[in-house]
Structure 1
Amino acid sequence: MTVRQSRGPGRPSASGPTPPSEDQILRQGLEAFVELGYDGASMRELARRLGVSHNFINDRYGSKQVFWRAVVDHALEEATGFLTAALESGDDEERLTAIVRRFYQQAVRKPRLNQLMLEESHCRSERLDYVFDRYVAPLIAAIEPSVRRLVAAGRLPDTPMYLLYSAVIGPAAALTRRPMVERLGWPSDPDEAELTAIADDLARLALNGLLGHPPSRHAPRSDLPK
Structure 2
Amino acid sequence: MEESEILRRGLDAFAELGYAATTMRELARRLEVSHNFINDRYGSKEKFWRAVVDFALLDVQSELDHRMAVGRDDGERLRNVIVQLYRLSAKASAMNRLMSDESTRDSSRLDYLHQRFIKPFWDSIEPTISSLIAAGRIPDAPTHIWYFAVTGPALALAQDPIADRLNPAASPMAEQDRNGMADALSSLVLQGLLPLSRGDATDRNG
- For residues 110 and 130 of structure 1, the distance between their equivalents in structure 2, rounded to whole angstroms, comes to 19
Match of 2:117 in 1: 135
Moved over 6 A (4+): 190-193
Structure showing the higher helix proportion among its residues: 2
**Does the 8 A contact of 2:38 with 2:45 survive in 1?**
yes
Match of 1:86 in 2: 67
Q: Which amino acid aligns with 1:157?
A: P
Q: Say if 2:10 is the partner of 1:26.
A: no
- For residues 154 and 117 of structure 1, the distance between their equivalents in structure 2, rounded to whole angstroms, comes to 32
173 and 75 in structure 1: CA distance in 2 versus 1, 3 angstrom threshold: same
Secondary structure (helix, strand or coil) at the match of 1:100 reads helix
Match of 1:158 in 2: 140
**Does the 8 A contact of 2:93 with 2:157 survive in 1?**
yes
Secondary structure (helix, strand or coil) at the match of 2:196 reads coil
Deviations 1:93-135 (A, max 9, x none): 1111011001111122111111000010111000000000121
Match of 2:161 in 1: 179
Question: What's the TM-score once normalised by structure 1's chain length?
Answer: 0.81
**Does the 8 A contact of 2:163 with 2:173 survive in 1?**
no
Q: Alpha-carbon deviation of 1:37?
A: 1.1
- For residues 70 and 196 of structure 1, the distance between their equivalents in structure 2, rounded to whole angstroms, comes to 27
180 and 138 in structure 1: CA distance in 2 versus 1, 3 angstrom threshold: same
99 and 189 in structure 1: CA distance in 2 versus 1, 3 angstrom threshold: same
Q: Which structure 2 residues correspond to residues 40-189 of structure 1 after superposition, within 5 A?
A: 40-90=21-71, 91-185=73-167, 187-188=170-171
- For residues 192 and 54 of structure 1, the distance between their equivalents in structure 2, rounded to whole angstroms, comes to 34
Between 178-187 and 106-115, the greater mean CA deviation after superposition: 178-187
Q: Alpha-carbon deviation of 1:159?
A: 0.7
**Does the 8 A contact of 2:10 with 2:52 survive in 1?**
yes
Segments of structure 1 that go 5 or more residues without pairing to the other structure are 1-19, 220-226
1:198 to 173, 181, 190: 181
Task: Quote the sequence identity (%).
Answer: 47
Question: What's the TM-score once normalised by structure 2's chain length?
Answer: 0.89
Match of 2:193 in 1: 210
Secondary structure (helix, strand or coil) at the match of 1:77 reads coil
RMSD: 2.1
- For residues 132 and 48 of structure 1, the distance between their equivalents in structure 2, rounded to whole angstroms, comes to 30
Q: Alpha-carbon deviation of 1:149?
A: 0.6
Q: Alpha-carbon deviation of 1:193?
A: 8.4
**Does the 8 A contact of 2:138 with 2:194 survive in 1?**
yes
Q: Alpha-carbon deviation of 1:60?
A: 0.7
Match of 1:3 in 2: none
- For residues 48 and 193 of structure 1, the distance between their equivalents in structure 2, rounded to whole angstroms, comes to 30
193 and 34 in structure 1: CA distance in 2 versus 1, 3 angstrom threshold: closer
* Paired positions, count: 198
Q: Alpha-carbon deviation of 1:188?
A: 3.6
